[in-house]
């Protein structure tokens, strides 16, 4: 009798420091002591920071997915700013999910989910 035990290969887990990523993005563009000037934000995201924040303030209450909350292991997830940045970069520049992983340390599937949910929320606001 042969017993099937499933596949022996498992998905590789890549450790991502979501808190540091969120903090770095915040320090770069959203804090009171910016690392980059507002014009750099405008060039990178093709909008002013104030507009970015207004959009985020509408999206976060509409879909809890955009709130920063702990995962199943208790580790804090990505901030709303990181999730919005992923969506904006994908939509404004057509960036690939690989670039989001390199720059923001966010997985491909998460990038797709963020962009899909962002478009859904904007469509329903």
pLDDT digits (tens, 9 = 90+) for 24-65: 888 888 888 888 888 998 988 888 999 999 999 999 999 999
In a domain, 74, yes or no: yes
**Total domain count for the chain?**
1
Distances (CA, A) of 70 to 8, 60, 75, 81, 110: 29, 16, 5, 16, 15
In a domain, 63, yes or no: yes
In a domain, 86, yes or no: yes
Range of the domain at 105: 18-124
pLDDT digits (tens, 9 = 90+) for 76-107: 888 999 999 889 888 887 876 666 556 677 88
In a domain, 7, yes or no: no
In a domain, 99, yes or no: yes
Other beta carbons less than 10 A from residue 82's beta carbon? 25
Q: Which of 34, 30, 12 is nearest to 22 (CA)?
A: 30
In a domain, 82, yes or no: yes
Task: Name the pTM for this structure.
Answer: 0.75
In a domain, 67, yes or no: yes
């Amino acid at each position: 009798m042969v017993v099937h035990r499933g596949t022996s290969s498992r998905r590789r887990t890549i450790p991502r420091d979501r808190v540091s990523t969120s903090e770095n993005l915040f320090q770069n563009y959203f804090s009171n002591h910016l690392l980059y000037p507002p014009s750099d934000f405008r060039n990178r995201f093709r909008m002013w920071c104030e507009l970015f924040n207004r959009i985020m303030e509408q999206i976060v209450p509409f879909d809890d997915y955009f709130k920063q909350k702990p995962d199943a292991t208790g580790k804090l997830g990505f901030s709303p700013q990181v999730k919005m940045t992923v969506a904006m970069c994908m939509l404004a520049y057509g960036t690939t999910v690989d670039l989001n992983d390199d720059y923001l340390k966010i997985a491909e599937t998460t990038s797709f989910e963020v962009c899909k949910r962002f478009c859904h929320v904007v469509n329903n606001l």
